[in-house]
């Protein structure tokens, strides 16, 4: 099948994801951050609705795959395995791997505040991309994309090695390389007092190593340390690529 003509940047992205859009508008909307649509028009299209759709498609595809692959695993374990695959940090990792940040359509303000590498933005965009593929090519296309993205993780959910103390392990790893201290920063908190969400980052020698989300500041810091360990290639932890350059 002949590939449709497209802008170079969008063509490069479609090569990475292994899917070529019949209607490029779906891809454009998936890459449009809400800040960009608000800057031009309050009713302009952005990726929030596609994110909503993609979240449901993602869960369905992975639930189906786990159900068929782990025949002797109970419902509770399958639910935990699915949660491990689709948590916000895992989806942000996928966004980094696909370099979605370099293709985002952002407002000037979001651009200046690091929106292209923000984990929450990349996680949302990944879900929107799943929704866009579903609308453009149907369930089979979306299923193929999701399973390609998670093929290395799906088979390991029942026995992925856990890091008991990510912050301690990260500190020990870096102390062997430098005397500089680790610094954890609270980047954002949102939501009502009884149900707040936190985003924290971890820094070393003025370099950000990772970010994480959680229902408490402590949990968000722990998740940030886990991401940092993955980037640094800590033993027993799968390495993930560095974020796309802004």
Annotated catalytic residues are 55, 127
φ/ψ (deg, to 5) at 157 = -65, -25
Q: How far is CA 208 from CA 42, 169, 185, 219, 224, in A?
A: 34, 17, 10, 18, 10
Cα 114 to the chain's mean position, in Å?
15
Tokens 């399958």 belong to: 78
Q: What share of the chain is helix, strand, coil (3-state, %, to 5)?
A: 55, 10, 30
* Total Cβ atoms within 10 A of residue 84: 15
Q: How far apart are the first and last CA of the chain?
A: 33
């Amino acid at each position: 099948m002949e590939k449709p003509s497209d802008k170079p940047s969008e063509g490069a992205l479609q090569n990475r994801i292994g899917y070529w859009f019949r209607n490029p508008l779906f891809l454009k909307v998936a890459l449009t951050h809400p800040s960009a649509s608000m800057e031009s028009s309050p009713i302009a299209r952005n990726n929030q609705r596609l994110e909503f759709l993609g979240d449901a498609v993602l869960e369905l595809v992975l639930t189906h795959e786990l159900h068929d692959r782990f025949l002797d695993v109970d419902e509770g374990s399958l639910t935990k395995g699915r949660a491990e695959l689709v948590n916000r940090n895992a989806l942000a990792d996928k966004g980094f791997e696909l370099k979605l940040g370099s293709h985002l359509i952002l407002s000037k303000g979001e651009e200046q505040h690091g929106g292209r590498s923000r984990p929450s933005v990349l996680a949302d965009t990944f879900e929107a991309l799943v929704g866009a593929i579903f609308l453009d090519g149907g369930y089979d296309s979306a299923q193929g994309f999701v399973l390609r993205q998670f093929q290395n993780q799906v088979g390991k959910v029942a026995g992925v090695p856990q890091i008991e103390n990510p912050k301690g392990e990260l500190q020990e790893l870096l102390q062997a390389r430098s005397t500089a201290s680790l610094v954890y920063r609270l980047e954002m908190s949102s939501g009502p007092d009884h149900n707040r969400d936190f985003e924290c980052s971890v820094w070393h020698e003025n370099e950000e190593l990772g970010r994480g989300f959680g229902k408490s500041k402590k949990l968000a810091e722990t998740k940030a340390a886990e991401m940092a360990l993955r980037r640094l290639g800590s033993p027993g932890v799968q390495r993930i690529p560095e974020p796309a350059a802004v």
